[in-house]
Amino acid sequence: MSMLDEKLDQDVISRLSKELDLGKVASVGNAYVSVDVGTTKVCTLVAQILATGEVEIIGAGKSKSRGMKKGLVVDIEAMTAAVRESIAEATLNLDIEIPPVCIGVTGSHIVSVTTTGKSSVMDGKSEKVVSVKDMDAAVDNSRPKVENGQELLHVIPISYSLDGTSGIRNPSGLKGNSLSVKTHSVVGEITSLDNIVQSVENTGLKMGGMVLEPLASAESVLSAEEREIGTILVDIGGGTSDLAFFKNGKMVYTAVIPVGGFNFTNDIAVTLGIPYETAEELKINYGRTMAIPDDSDIDFNEQIEVSINGLEEKKIITKGDICRLLNDRASELLRFVLLKINEAGLDAMPAGGIVFTGGGANLIGWEELTHEYIPGNVRIAAPRDILGLPETLKSPTYSTSVGILLWGINHPVEQVNYGGHQPQKKKTFSKGRKWLSWLTQFISPKF
């Protein structure tokens, strides 16, 4: 590991410390910590629960991600260095013993499937009162068979059926003879998950929980009503875009699209023959998803002079060149989204429409372009405001980061059950993660 990897950005640390108004070292009793290990960034958040029950963020750290591509770790040492930098920044002014942390996962290796299961506990028993044990048994029997090298991440109950009556959310206390459940299962590759865990635990931290990123993002950007009436969430990350469909308070469909912010920037860099860093700056400053001039203050014919790899040679491009390239990639992503919506079995857009979040959602024009492909409501979402959240993190870019933190707080049972994992042992992740086998959630988290 190079000295450069270990050097922290003191300016960023100082700025965030001022925003958080931490002052001198603070002592914290009930801390919660999340680490968002992404393709373009690593973000660590530390929070505590006040006596009023309100969540307060007391530490935040972010670093440039190194060693990850499209949600997959490709360099453990570089990724560990980025995680260590983010954690050090978040805990700089805090006197705490870091508890087991919650992390998010995504990537092209993630797949989902809808399954059903029946409770064998009730067979042969007349008018038995349904118990939580019966419901757990049905969910357990719905778990899909996974191939070697795969591991079950989530098995989420969608609805139950009792004696042929379907659409029951919580059958506990009802009388019946036959109970079955429809579930949404999420599966990932063990090696890919292990690599993320290792990059975090190499810093000396202990894993406490793991959540699929779109499930986490929903915690920070979707209201209870949106999850109830039906809403499609699209999180445009650095390496991939996560899509999730929520209905009746539950996530009932997920998909990972192999298009993210990196592709938008790379298109500009490769096509126009300019450095990636320059392309990223141009995307942020002048990017629009619309290919033709709109009512904005951007002159598509205006020329921009950029340097080529720091040399005296200059290249002239127009703002229109940038926007047309972004439009092409954005249109491709929307076609993918439409394809996934059809695969989810939706005949029409849900009442809640579609919500975009993630760093890619910062591009201007998503609403207008989306209406050209997909009907219904369109909303761009940033994470909901939380006490102590720095202004620099109140952006769609950090919706997943905030969501992972909220997930760890709102689902403490999963945090406790993760104790079976031994971080000092290698390649034990799949055995230690059996707590992820299913989620017995019957009441959606409060928004």
Q: What tokens appear for 32 in the block?
A: 């919660």
User: Exposed, middle or buried by CB within 10 Å (0-12, 13-18, 19+), for 433?
Assistant: buried
pLDDT value for 297: 63
Least Cα distance to 40 among 283, 260, 284 occurs for 260
pLDDT value for 29: 58
User: Exposed, middle or buried by CB within 10 Å (0-12, 13-18, 19+), for 251?
Assistant: buried
pLDDT value for 150: 85
Alpha helices by DSSP H, listed for 377-439, are: 399-410, 412-417, 429-432
The single residue listed with the structure tokens 């709109």 is 294
Interstrand relation of 101-105 and 94-95 (parallel, antiparallel or unpaired):
unpaired
Q: Give the separation between CA 153 and CA 251, rounded to whole angstroms.
A: 14
Q: With beta carbons less than 8 A apart as the criterion, state whether 327 and 205 touch.
A: no
pLDDT value for 302: 86
Q: Give the separation between CA 382 and CA 362, rounded to whole angstroms.
A: 9
- Tell me the Cα Rg of the chain: 23
Q: Give the separation between CA 190 and CA 193, rounded to whole angstroms.
A: 5
3-state SS assignment for residue 144? coil
pLDDT value for 310: 63
pLDDT value for 164: 86
Is the pTM here over 0.85, yes or no? Answer: no
Give the other-Cβ count within 10 Å of 331's Cβ: 15
Which helix (H) or strand (E) element contains residue 69?
Answer: strand 68-69
Q: Give the separation between CA 413 and CA 441, rounded to whole angstroms.
A: 11
The class (CATH top level) of 3-107+190-208+386-421 is: alpha beta
In this chain, the answer to whether the domains covering 3-107+190-208+386-421 and 223-380 adopt an identical fold is yes
Q: Give the separation between CA 339 and CA 253, rounded to whole angstroms.
A: 13
Q: With beta carbons less than 8 A apart as the criterion, state whether 189 and 219 touch.
A: no
The class (CATH top level) of 223-380 is: alpha beta
Query: Domains of the chain: which residue ranges?
Result: 3-107+190-208+386-421, 223-380
Average pLDDT per 10 consecutive residues for the chain, totaling 447 residues: 42 42 45 92 94 93 89 90 95 88 87 86 68 90 87 88 90 90 90 91 90 93 96 94 93 92 95 92 90 67 80 82 94 96 91 96 93 94 94 95 93 48 38 38 36
pLDDT value for 4: 38
Burial 208-240 (b: 16+ CB within 10 A, else e): bbbbbbbbbbbbbbbeeebbbbbbbbbbbbbbb
pLDDT value for 122: 56
Residues 6+ apart with CB under 8 A from 14: none
The single residue listed with the structure tokens 């019966």 is 134
